[in-house]
C-alpha cells in the first residue's frame, strides 16, 4: 500500500459497509494506528481483539484470535480490509472465529471439512444479501441475471441489496475485472429495513448472521449462492446489453437430467 484512496472509497458503492472505518485514516494504517482506533471487540474466549504484527503470533491464526484476541495483520490491502470488516461486523467475525475454534476442538486431527470451508469462503468472498421480496432472491438462485439486474434494477436498495463482507472481495474491487463472483448469505428483512440508515442496517445484519452462525445454519459451501456482483446496478462502468448477455460471466443455471 502506497496511497490511501479515500475519494475512490467514498465514490464506490461497494465500500459503503466499511467506509466509516476507512475514513478514520488519511494514510495506510500502521500497527500503532490500529491500537488507537480499534473498536472494543471481545472474542467468545473472552479476549479483546487487537490487530497485531504477524511476527508476534505464537499459535495457529484462529486459536490466537479466540484465546488472546490477536488478529495477525500484515500491512497490505488484504489484511487491512480484514481489520475493517472486524470493526464493521464484529459479532459476525467473532461468531466465525468461534465456529473455527470449536470445529478444531471437535476434530483436531482431521482436514478442514465442509463447515470450515464454508466459513472461510464467506469470510473471504462473502456478501450479505438482505431482501424483502422473495421473488428477487429466487431470480438469483435461478441465475436469471438479466431479470435481476436489468428488469429489476429499481429494486436494488429498495427490496434487495448486496453488502460486501469478504475482505478478499474488497481487495479485488480495487482493480475489478469481468469474472468476479461472490458468495451470498441471504437475510430476509421487512420492507422498513431499507428505510434505515446504513449503520443501522449493518448492525441489524451483523446481529442476525451472528445468531444464525451460533444456531448452526452454515454447514457447507453450497448453501451460499453465487453472485456475479459486477452486474449490480452502478458497480461496473459499462453495463450495456452486451455486458449482461455475456454468459461466460452471467452463467445460466446448470440443468440436471
- Which residues pair with residue 128 across a beta bridge? 163, 185
How confident is the model at residue 78, as a pLDDT? 97
The residue extents of the domains of the chain are 6-112, 120-244
Nearest to 186 by CA among 251, 124, 141, 242: 141
How confident is the model at residue 182, as a pLDDT? 98
Which ranges of the chain have pLDDT less than 50? Answer: 257
Q: Give 76-88 pLDDT, tens digit per residue.
A: 999 999 999 999 9
3-state class (DSSP) for residue 226: strand
Please state, in angstroms and rounded to a whole number, the distance separating the CA atoms of residues 164 and 35: 25
Query: The whole model's pTM is what?
Result: 0.94
- Concatenated DSSP letters of 154-185: GGBTTTB--EE--HHHHHHTTS--TT--EEEE
How confident is the model at residue 221, as a pLDDT? 95
- From the number of C-beta atoms within 10 Å of its C-beta (0-12, 13-18, 19+), residue 154 rates as exposed
Q: Give 154-196 pLDDT, tens digit per residue.
A: 999 999 999 999 999 999 999 999 999 999 999 999 999 999 9
- From the number of C-beta atoms within 10 Å of its C-beta (0-12, 13-18, 19+), residue 26 rates as exposed
How confident is the model at residue 37, as a pLDDT? 77
Please state, in angstroms and rounded to a whole number, the distance separating the CA atoms of residues 202 and 208: 10
Amino acid at each position: 500500500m502506497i496511497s490511501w484512496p479515500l475519494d475512490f472509497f467514498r465514490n464506490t458503492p461497494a465500500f459503503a459497509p466499511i467506509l466509516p472505518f476507512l475514513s478514520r485514516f488519511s494514510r495506510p494504517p500502521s500497527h500503532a494506528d490500529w491500537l488507537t482506533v480499534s473498536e472494543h471487540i471481545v472474542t467468545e474466549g473472552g479476549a479483546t481483539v487487537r490487530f497485531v504484527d504477524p511476527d508476534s503470533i505464537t499459535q495457529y491464526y484462529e486459536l490466537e484470535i479466540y484465546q488472546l484476541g490477536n488478529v495477525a495483520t500484515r500491512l497490505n490491502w488484504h489484511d487491512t480490509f480484514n481489520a475493517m470488516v472486524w470493526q464493521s461486523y464484529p459479532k459476525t467475525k467473532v461468531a466465525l472465529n468461534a465456529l473455527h475454534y470449536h470445529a478444531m476442538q471437535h476434530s483436531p486431527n482431521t482436514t478442514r471439512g465442509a463447515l470450515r470451508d464454508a466459513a472461510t469462503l464467506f469470510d473471504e468472498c462473502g456478501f450479505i444479501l438482505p431482501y424483502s421480496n422473495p421473488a428477487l432472491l429466487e431470480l438469483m438462485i435461478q441465475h436469471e441475471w438479466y431479470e435481476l439486474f436489468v428488469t429489476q434494477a429499481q429494486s436494488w436498495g429498495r427490496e434487495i441489496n448486496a453488502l460486501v463482507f469478504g475482505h478478499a472481495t474488497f481487495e479485488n474491487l480495487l482493480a475489478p475485472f469481468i469474472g468476479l463472483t461472490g458468495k451470498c448469505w441471504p437475510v430476509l428483512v421487512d420492507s422498513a429495513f431499507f428505510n434505515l440508515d446504513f449503520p443501522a442496517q449493518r448492525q441489524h445484519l451483523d446481529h442476525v448472521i451472528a445468531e444464525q452462525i451460533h444456531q448452526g445454519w452454515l454447514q457447507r459451501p453450497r448453501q451460499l449462492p453465487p453472485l456475479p456482483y459486477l452486474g449490480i446496478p452502478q458497480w461496473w462502468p459499462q453495463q450495456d446489453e452486451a455486458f449482461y448477455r455475456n454468459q461466460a460471466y452471467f452463467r445460466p443455471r446448470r440443468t440436471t437430467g
